[in-house]
Amino acid sequence: MAYDFDTIATNYDRMNRLMTLGLDRRWRKRAVRGLHGNVLDVACGTGDMVVSLAEQGCTVTGVDISEEMLAIAKRKAPQATYMLADAEQLPFEDSSFDAVTCAFGVRNFVHLEQGLSEMLRVLKPGGTMVILELATPDNILIKPFYNFYTKHLIPWLGSRIAGNRAAYTYLPESIVRFPKGEAFVQIMEKLGGRTTERKLFFGVCRSYKIVKKQRGRST
Ligand SMILES: C[S@@+](CC[C@H](N)C(=O)[O-])C[C@H]1O[C@@H](n2cnc3c(N)ncnc32)[C@H](O)[C@@H]1O
């Protein structure tokens, strides 16, 4: 079953700013640089990616399965169109969007490949998909700090600030379970996207740029 973000919606933005010391906003802005046209933001949550896309002139549609998260997005970025919809069954025609984005969302899909295939399906051939995800760092010097931070400090912050230790214990656990780097690149290539990975902040955040292959072409 999908994790229920309704329960943490109210404190979601505050926790993000605290946990990443504000870097999450910069990561989103950097990731969507260069995108234009009609963009679908999947798992849009409270709308921070929608804001970044709208700031550079994109026409944005945001979808999410959490009503509470969507309610905040609608207040924060009212210029976009929003729908309560599951990434694994998107209510759009094939090739509807110039670009598709998803920040910190795919890690929460129940059926990862189903969601990613749907995102590729609604993207125009040759269009770009941008996926931002959290990951464990590769550097062995950074790892002990990262482990302490995610296993102890984040759950503590979650209980103090959001009153929800369980949600912020789920977060680091879901990061460890999720395929990162080359493993994720391979999944996207198999599904039909030419994929490049960029590591941000020692690799604790990864930005994947995926170009949908044209039909009938192998490269
Ligand atoms: C960690 S939040 C990310 C929100 C936002 N994209 C951001 O940048 O802050 C994950 C979001 O994914 C949504 N989500 C999880 N599974 C989903 C699915 N199958 N379809 C649509 N949204 C989903 C959750 O409701 C939640 O709002």
Nearest residue by C-alpha to atom 27 in ligand 1: 45
Let me know if residue 22 belongs to a domain: yes
Residue 133 Cα, ligand 1 centroid: separation in angstroms?
A: 11
Residue 130 lies in a domain: yes
pTM of the model: 0.96
Mean pLDDT calculated for residue range 73-90: 98
| Residue 218: pLDDT over 50 | no
pLDDT confidence bin for 216, thresholds 50/70/90: low
Query: 182: CA distance to ligand 1 center in Å?
Result: 23
The pick from 6, 8, 69, 118 for probing ligand 1's pocket by mutation, whose C-beta has the most ligand atoms within 8 angstroms, reads 69
Predicted confidence (pLDDT) per residue in 129-161, tens digit: 999 999 999 999 999 999 999 999 999 999 999
* Domain tally, the chain: 1
Residue partners of 124: CB distance under 8 A and separation at least 6: 95, 96, 97, 98, 212
Whether the per-residue pLDDT at 1 is higher than 80: the answer is no
Percent of the chain residues topping a pLDDT of 90: 93
Please, what is the Cα angle at 2 between 144 and 71, to 5 degrees? 100
Mean pLDDT of the chain: 95
Task: Count CA atoms closer than 13 A to 117's CA, side-chain side.
Answer: 8
- Answer whether 76's CB lies under 8 Å from 51's CB: yes
In a domain, 152, yes or no: no
pLDDT computed for residue 219 by the predictor? 46
Q: How far apart are CA 72 and CA 137, in angstroms?
A: 31
pLDDT tens for each residue of 149-206: 999 999 999 999 999 999 899 999 999 999 999 999 999 999 999 999 999 999 999 9
Give me the sheet containing 205-212, strands edge to edge: 81-84, 59-64, 38-42, 97-103, 123-134, 205-212, 193-200
Atom of ligand 1 nearest to the CA of 88: 19
Which are the contacts of 70, defined by CB distance < 8 A and separation ≥ 6? 44, 62, 64, 82, 84
In-domain check, residue 169: no
CATH number of the domain encompassing residue 56 = 3.40.50.150
Ligand 1 shell residues, CB under 6 Å? 2, 5, 43-45, 48-49, 63-66, 69, 86-88, 103-105, 108-109, 115
pLDDT digits (tens, 9 = 90+) for 29-55: 999 999 999 999 999 999 999 999 999
52-79 average pLDDT score: 97
Residue entry with tokens 């309560």: 84
Q: Which domain holds residue 112?
A: 5-136+178-212
Q: Is residue 159 part of a domain?
A: no
Tell which atom from ligand 1 comes closest to the C-alpha of 2. Answer: 16
pLDDT reported for residue 103: 98
